[in-house]
Copies of this chain bind each other. A is one copy, B any other.
Amino acid sequence: MKAGHISVIGLGPGNAGQVTPEANAAVAAAKWFYGYGPYVDRLDLRFDQIKVASDNREEISRAQAALEKAAQGERVAVVSGGDPGVFAMAAAVCEAIEAGPAEWRDIELTVVPGITAMLAVAARIGAPLGHDFCAISLSDNLKPWDIIEKRLQAAASAGFVIALYNPISKARPWQLGKAFELLRTILPETTPIIFGRAAGRPDEKMVVTPLGAADAGQADMATCVIIGSAETRIIDRGALPALVYTPRFLNAAQGANS
Contacts and interface: CB of A to CB of B under 8 A. Distances in A.
A98 B250 contact: no
Interface string A5-36: 00000001001111111100100000000000
Given A85-B123, A105-B235, A154-B154, A142 B90 contact: no
B92 A248 contact: yes
A235 B91 CA distance: 12
B131 A250 contact: no
Interface in A113-165: 113-116, 119-120, 122-124, 126-137, 139-144, 147, 150-151, 153-155, 157-160
Nearest to A144: B252
A97 interface: yes
Interface centre among A112, A120, A127, A247 (most CB of B within 10 A): A127
B106 A113 contact: no
B134 A155 contact: yes
Number of copies: 2
Interface stretch (A53-61, A180-188, A202-210, A215-223): A53-61
Interface residues of A, number: 94
B237 A106 contact: yes
Interface in A225-258: 233, 235-240, 243, 245-253, 256-258
Question: Majority SS of interface residues in chain A?
Answer: mixed
Contacts of A113: 18, 115, 119-120, 122-123
A115 B257 contact: no
Interface in A88-119: 88, 90-95, 97-98, 105-106, 108-109, 111-116, 119
A85 B124 CA distance: 10
Given A105-B240, A134-B135, A150-B158, A141 B111 contact: no
Nearest 7 pairs between A and B by C-beta?
A: A91-B130, A134-B134, A94-B245, A17-B22, A90-B127, A141-B258, A154-B158
